[in-house]
Amino acid sequence: MSKIINKALFYKEWINVKWVTLLTIVILLFYKVHGVISALNENKFTMKRSGYECTSWFNNGLYMSRDSYFFIMIFVVMLLAVILFIGEKNSETQGFIASMPFTRKEIILNKWIVGVLSLLISFVVTYIFLSLFYVANIKGLDTTLNPYSDIVKWLFMDTFQYICIFTFMLLAQSVMGNSIVAGIVGAIIPILPYFIIRLVRILITTHYGFIQYTVMVCNKIEDWLNIYSYNLTYQNWSITETNTSWFSYTNYKLKLLILFILTCLFLYLSYVSYKKRNLEYNLRLIVFKNLNPIFICCVSVCSGLLAGYTLGSEMLSSFTIWATTFTIIGYFISKVLLKFFSSTK
């Protein structure tokens, strides 16, 4: 381990991201710890007013989905990746580090380790607060509907998911020059397969009508392709006098395995890309010239699909016209972007 972690590099990176760690802790405490506290207070208020008690209040407070949580966490992970690279790409720091007795492997692995440590600290601190709150209120808890394992499952799922997303953003930073653009692209690309399949499903349904088997298959594919939604929970109902509901994960172990495999894959690709990148191209949009056609294709296709989806009507002909128009526009925009960032060197 000492051969991988370089104290000088580690300290340098940690100084840059420690405030992001504090920000992540505050966000997690607000959404998760404050979430279960609010659920308890709401349950007490409901009991006083109507006599109804929600026996799964802790589970609901911890697992109930709030869209803002997912968007803010993705933004924080993107910010973490950008902070680890922006100073070196926009100054002479990276050239200075490259002249030091550090290997490319040490540099990229120390960035990854610091980023992962930042996320781990944030989630573990939140886990401790949740555990203390759980123990403090255990007498009033139905441990069947609110098992302690809920906290453990949340810890592993969210930690694995956001480490995986961070590692992909590290890969984006390794193959792209501009840190901010790389952060944005790194946040968008994981959602593209899901968006494309969803769009195909909508087009099929619009043009051919509702076909149950096709819709079911598309929904299944969407669920597995969208790694951003792996930590989403689904509501279950118990048909009793009180109609109790609670939230749980689906395919929990398999999703953890997929996230772990993807993290290893993204980390390896990050190392290979960073090892081969030319430091002279740090300010370019794409560091590797052979990836330019892929970037142009992605921007063009995504522009066309997004325009067709938002501006086109339910008629396939309208969608085609808008999609084609903005595909051409996206093509020229991507060419201009590549030329602009190449000329800034």
Q: What is the pLDDT of residues 253-287, one digit of tens each?
A: 999 999 999 999 999 998 888 887 766 666 666 77
Total residues found in the chain within this entry = 345
Give the per-residue pLDDT at 99: 62
Tokens standing for residue 255: 């999703």
**Alpha-carbon distance 150 to 154, whole Å?**
6
Give the per-residue pLDDT at 77: 93
Q: Give percent of the chain above pLDDT 90.
A: 23
Give the per-residue pLDDT at 144: 79
Q: What is the CA radius of gyration of the chain?
A: 23
Full-model pTM: 0.85
CA dist 109 → 38, 69, 86, 255, 259 (Å): 40, 28, 17, 25, 19
* Residue 79 or residue 292, greater confidence: 79
Sign of the alpha-carbon dihedral angle for 76, 82, 87, 93: positive
The answer to whether residue 53 scores a pLDDT higher than 70 is no
The answer to whether residue 165 scores a pLDDT higher than 70 is yes
Give the per-residue pLDDT at 129: 94
Give the per-residue pLDDT at 315: 66
Contacts of 336 (CB under 8 A, 6+ apart): none
Task: Please provide the average confidence, as pLDDT, over all residues in the chain.
Answer: 81
Q: What is the pLDDT of residues 105-161, one digit of tens each?
A: 778 888 899 999 999 999 999 999 999 998 888 887 777 778 889 999 999 999 999
Residue 183: Cβ within 10 Å count: 24
* Residue 314 or residue 140, greater confidence: 140
